[in-house]
């Protein structure tokens, strides 16, 4: 069984699309645990309507708003599946998303975590380009897993769930801890999820705050990279340069861009030495 947690706070606008994309999965052995995080709109009415129609749905209601990481842990504490995942009230799965990911997990018992490519959509559902999921080697550069994933329940238990102090980057923190714990990841380079970008999303509303937090996480990642791994260090420096530019800190942006160029030069020098 796959346990899917859907945390929601005032999600009346898109939650029907999200729920229907889950219930219409070609892989039907699922449970959907909806955590209503003290919504004040019509969310409770909508999710109750679906729960009456489908016995695979469980509803948990937070009397006070606990925010995303705590709501995830509350949802997974009631999960009984072999595999875990979670989604957002404004995003949608492709019909075969869960089936494709379960197939990978069942086909190789050594894989602990599988994730797939996304496509970005706007508020009306129009496709706006491919997402940013990529090979796990890029995890120290940024959140290369994005939003379509599945992992064994044991991963959640070993890591003791999501860190409630990491609000706004609880997912990236969880992926990093799983990676550093040596769990095995597998990337499906196929679009299996629609990731909605709109003004009301949490990521958009808190964009500046998210950028600052991600900068600190990536700077910490840099400390974990081998000093001689100029290729990865160069990519991290250039990513920091981009983030500082978004944060309107041009001097720091230029500083990290120069560090990236120094790493590129070191790579070139090594190649030339090997040739001579």
Give the model confidence (pLDDT) of 107-136 as tens digits. 999 999 999 999 999 999 999 999 999 999
Residue with tokens 């840099």: 222
Read off the pLDDT of residues 233-250 as tens digits, 9 standing for 90 and up: 999 999 999 999 988 899
pTM above 0.85, yes or no: yes
Q: Which helix (H) or strand (E) holds 265?
A: helix 250-275
CATH of the domain at 48: 3.90.550.10
213: in domain: no
> Which residues span the domain enclosing 139?
2-205
243: in domain: yes
Question: CB of 188 within 8 A of CB of 134?
Answer: no
Q: What is the pLDDT of residue 274?
A: 66
Three-state secondary structure readout of 116-168: EEEEEECCCCCEEEECCCCCHHHCCCCCCCCCCEEEEHHHHHHCCCCCCCCCC
- DSSP per position, 72-92: HHHHHTT---SEEEE--TT-E
In terms of domains, do 181 and 138 share one? yes
Q: What is the pLDDT of residue 72?
A: 98
211: in domain: no
Residue 30's DSSP bridge partners are 2
Domain boundary among 156, 173, 205: 205
In terms of domains, do 40 and 101 share one? yes
pLDDT mean across residues, the chain = 94
In terms of domains, do 27 and 150 share one? yes
Q: What is the pLDDT of residue 273?
A: 65
In terms of domains, do 198 and 230 share one? no
In terms of domains, do 178 and 59 share one? yes
Number of domains comprising the chain: 2
Question: CB of 184 within 8 A of CB of 161?
Answer: no
Residue ranges, the chain, pLDDT below 70: 269, 271-276
In terms of domains, do 265 and 143 share one? no
Domain boundary among 205, 236, 256: 205
In terms of domains, do 147 and 230 share one? no
């Amino acid at each position: 069984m796959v346990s899917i947690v859907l945390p929601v706070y005032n999600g009346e606008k898109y939650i029907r699309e999200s729920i229907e994309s889950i219930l219409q999965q070609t892989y039907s052995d699922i449970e959907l645990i909806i955590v209503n995080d003290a919504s004040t709109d019509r969310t409770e009415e909508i999710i109750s309507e679906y729960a009456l129609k489908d016995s695979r749905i469980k509803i948990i209601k937070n009397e006070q708003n606990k925010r995303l990481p705590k709501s995830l842990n509350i949802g997974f504490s009631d999960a009984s599946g072999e595999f875990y995942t979670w989604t957002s009230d404004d995003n949608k799965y492709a019909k075969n998303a869960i089936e494709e990911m379960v197939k990978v997990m069942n086909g190789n018992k050594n894989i602990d975590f599988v994730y797939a490519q996304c496509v970005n959509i706007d508020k009306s559902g129009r496709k706006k380009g491919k997402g940013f999921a990529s090979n796990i080697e890029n995890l120290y550069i940024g959140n290369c897993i994005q939003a379509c994933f599945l992992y064994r329940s044991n991963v959640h238990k070993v890591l003791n769930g999501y860190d409630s102090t990491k609000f706004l980057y609880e997912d990236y923190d969880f992926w990093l801890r799983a990676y550093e714990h040596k769990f095995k990841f597998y990337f499906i380079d196929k679009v299996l999820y629609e990731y909605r970008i709109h003004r009301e999303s949490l990521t958009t509303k808190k964009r500046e705050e998210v950028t600052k937090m991600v900068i600190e996480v990536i700077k910490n990642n840099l400390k974990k990279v081998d000093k001689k791994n100029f290729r990865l260090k160069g990519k991290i420096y250039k990513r920091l340069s981009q983030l500082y530019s978004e944060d309107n800190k041009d001097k720091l942006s230029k500083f990290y861009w120069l560090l990236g160029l120094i790493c590129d030069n070191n790579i070139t020098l090594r190649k030339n030495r090997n040739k001579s």
